[in-house]
Structure 1
Amino acid sequence: MQPTEELFKRKNESGGGIEVICGSMFSGKTEELIRRINRARYAKLSVKIFKPKLDIRYDENDVVSHNATTINSTPVGKSAEILLLTGHAQVVGIDEAQFFDNKLPEICTTLANKGIRVVIAGLDMDFKGRPFGPMPTLMAIAESVTKVHAVCMRCGNPALYSYRLVPGKDKVLLGEKESYEPRCRVCYNSKTF
């Protein structure tokens, strides 16, 4: 049996695993998370979705994509709360994972080892182009990583950076199109627009 076949055989037997959806702002990460969670619901699996309490851009409770697709979620302050609130869920969704503490990879591993499918969405890089929060570790331990791209607002090429339009040095600045725009590598590095 090939190593890849063995991996998927074991995953199917336990049902557990970690899937990461990452990319820049406006790349469709949350849309993809919601799509996967809805597919699990169609399959009549029990699901639970979490998001960080600090993300109140669109709604205090629900996960909402930039395209206004919505799914009910539970806001939590720390990743450890996810373990306490998962209940009997077969699938756990986590949005805006970059805002969680560095214990999130351990929490996700614990859930996956219990046979739970964990689907995570988050920014892989901050506005400075550096790895963001627990995302690098989550990407390293995941069975699958899907990197989605936005469209560069300057040239139309695939964008992988979240360029901050407003001044500030804080790593976390909740914002939308007035604060950020997606850019490709060339336009992000030129910073002359």
Structure 2
Amino acid sequence: MYTEEVFRRHNEVGGSIEVICGSMFSGKTEELIRRVNRARIAKLNVEIFSPVADTRYDKSALVSHNLNSIPSKAVDKAASILPLVAGNTQVVGIDEAQFFDDELPQVVSTLANAGVRVIIAGLDMDFKGRPFGRMPELMAMAEAVTKLHAVCVVCGSPALNSYRLVPNENQILLGEKESYEPRCRNCFNLDGLAG
């Protein structure tokens, strides 16, 4: 848990915020796993978190669409992250950031201000092409933002949108290839369903 002493010690080295964003099937979780594995190779202490709401693969691991995985802790809300971060943690990974509540930016700032490198992955836009959750705020706060693109299944261009295939107007609908496909701007707008 983070105490005043831990904050002072970490502040000597400086923290940062990195955001990995893009559409579904763009490789966000894959990139988060890659960065976390590199930190582990460098013998850094790492903690990884994901929202309890994401039940698609495994409750105790981040799993990419390519089925690469790494152990993680599922939490019900952003504020639950801080008490679970050990005082010697140097890197925190957070997946599916768009599903977290409004406290995530403050939690991330607290960690970065305490000297922790925070790596966040999440959808930047919902199925209607609108900013998703706290992602815009997290991107604005970050030292680095990496926007990944999938491949449009219609024309093969870089895809920045997650096109919903099933009739459901809820902003959050967990799914895979049966529910979503990546599309470029033009192919996304062809059906007139965006926005």
- When normalised by structure 2's length, the TM-score is 0.91
3-state DSSP of counterpart to 2:174? coil
Preserved contact between residue 165 and residue 180 of structure 2 (Cα < 8 Å) = yes
What letter corresponds to residue 123 of structure 2 in structure 1?
L
Aligned to 2:55: 56
3-state DSSP of counterpart to 2:186? helix
3-state DSSP of counterpart to 1:140? helix
Within 5 Å, give how 1:137-156 maps onto structure 2.
Answer: 137-156=137-156
Shift of 1:123: 0.1
Give structure 2 stretches of 5+ with no counterpart. Answer: 1-10
Within 5 Å, give how 1:7-46 maps onto structure 2.
Answer: 14-46=13-45
Give deviations 1:82-119, integer Å, cap 9, x for gaps: 11101121000000000000110110000000000000
Q: Does 1:181 align with 2:185?
A: no
Aligned to 1:97: 97
The whole-number CA distance in structure 1 between the counterparts of 2:31 and 2:59 is 20
Preserved contact between residue 59 and residue 73 of structure 2 (Cα < 8 Å) = no
What letter corresponds to residue 132 of structure 1 in structure 2?
F
Aligned to 1:6: none
What letter corresponds to residue 190 of structure 1 in structure 2?
L
What letter corresponds to residue 107 of structure 1 in structure 2?
V
What letter corresponds to residue 138 of structure 1 in structure 2?
L
The whole-number CA distance in structure 2 between the counterparts of 1:20 and 1:94 is 10
- When normalised by structure 1's length, the TM-score is 0.92
The whole-number CA distance in structure 1 between the counterparts of 2:59 and 2:83 is 20
Preserved contact between residue 14 and residue 113 of structure 2 (Cα < 8 Å) = no
Where does structure 1 differ by over 4 angstroms across 4 or more consecutive aligned residues? none
3-state DSSP of counterpart to 1:163? strand
The whole-number CA distance in structure 2 between the counterparts of 1:13 and 1:157 is 45
Aligned to 2:167: 167
- What is the number of equivalent residue pairs in this alignment? 182
Aligned to 1:118: 118
3-state DSSP of counterpart to 1:14? coil
Aligned to 2:4: none
3-state DSSP of counterpart to 2:137? helix
CA RMSD of aligned residues (A): 1.4
What letter corresponds to residue 44 of structure 2 in structure 1?
L
Shift of 1:173: 0.3
Give deviations 1:44-76, integer Å, cap 9, x for gaps: 000000000011101122100000000000000
Give deviations 1:97-156, integer Å, cap 9, x for gaps: 000001101100000000000000000000010000010000000000000000000000
3-state DSSP of counterpart to 2:110? helix
Give structure 1 stretches of 5+ with no counterpart. Answer: 1-11
Preserved contact between residue 63 and residue 69 of structure 2 (Cα < 8 Å) = yes
Shift of 1:13: 5.8
